[in-house]
Amino acid sequence: MTRRLAVREESWPLAAVFAISRGAKTAAQVIVAEISDGRATGRGEAVPYARYGQTPAGEIAAIEALRPDLEAGLDRRGLQNRLPAGAARNALDCALWDLEAKVAGVPAWALAGRRRLDPVKTCLTLSLDTPEKMAEAARAAARRPMLKLKIGGADDLDRVIAVREAAPRTRLIVDANEALDFEALRRLAPELARLEVKMIEQPLPAQADEALEGYESPVLLCADESLHTRADLSRCVRRYGAVNIKLDKTGGLTEALALAAEARAVGLQIMAGCMVATSLAMAPTMILAQGAEVVDLDGPLLLARDREPGLTYQGSLILPPPPELWG
């Protein structure tokens, strides 16, 4: 049966400016791939990320270059060697998972070998801002079980202290997005431990994180920008105790599940993460998030509006996706 491919860029306004150490944005720019076979349509959403040299136009061009093969029946297993890990492959991989599930009449989680798909609790991310503004945001979210703070400046310790005072019972993790150097980390980590921060995500630049080898951090360190696929695990296991797995980095759910299995086998904790995007991008990661120590799938909570139907968020609890959305 002949397939048809459609791919487009979409822009989703954010509810507020979202800032991290390397910049700020007011909208989520995503690409959406749709693959139809006459019986069903599979969809996948991805976020091209400038940090990795990606643009929406470039990722769409990479998808279009595969149009003849995709429309001739290229499956997600064959896809793995046709595109590098990244947004383009993620959009297609997730669309093929969705199509396969719909054609087979079984949930995607069953195709992935899961017995069921349970709700998960996500952390909520606080955008990088002044200590006062971050404390205000934390106070409004103090009943949530976990908050993730973006850091990356001279006032980092003040930020964390302010948030801890505003949300004294909430579990805290911090994300530096590569903004620290090793000496800054060594100074900051004991203070974060005193404030009961549970995790520091990507403290150093990915190209400089060899400094972490042999360092006994008082707070669990988690790789993000340093980890994309299984090829990065041998380095990360010597430098981190946890890894943030995002489908936009792995190039889809197929590699993400394989990466999670190998990461667990070498003793690393799993964080199931996301870029800022709609529920369509979060839905496949719900499979990855089963049993993860940390879940960070709050992208839709940062948008002015989500696509419909979307995921159901009950506070921090995310319910499994409806089949009309994905899978």
- Enzyme catalytic residues: 150, 246
Q: Which residues pair with 167 in a beta bridge?
A: none
CA distance 33 to 94: 9
Instruction: Give backbone dihedrals phi and psi of 100, rounded to 5 degrees, phi first.
Output: -60, -40
- What are the Cα distances from residue 276, in Å, to 7, 15, 85, 174, 301? 19, 11, 18, 17, 9
DSSP string, 295-312: E---GGGGBSS--SS---
Category of 23 on φ-ψ map: left (φ > 0), alpha (ψ -120 to 50) or beta: left
DSSP string, 94-160: HHHHHHHHHHHTS-HHHHTT-S----EE--EEEPS--HHHHHHHHHHTTTSSEEEEE--STTHHHHH
Two tokens, residue 279: 């529920």
CA distance 49 to 29: 9
Rounded to the nearest 5 degrees, what angle is found at the Cα of 112, between the Cα atoms of 110 and 118? Answer: 60
Rounded to the nearest 5 degrees, what angle is found at the Cα of 315, between the Cα atoms of 309 and 319? Answer: 45
The strands making up 317-318's β-sheet, listed across from edge to edge, are 120-121, 317-318, 313-314
Two tokens, residue 323: 């089949």
Two tokens, residue 135: 């404390």
CB 194 within 8 A of CB 188: no
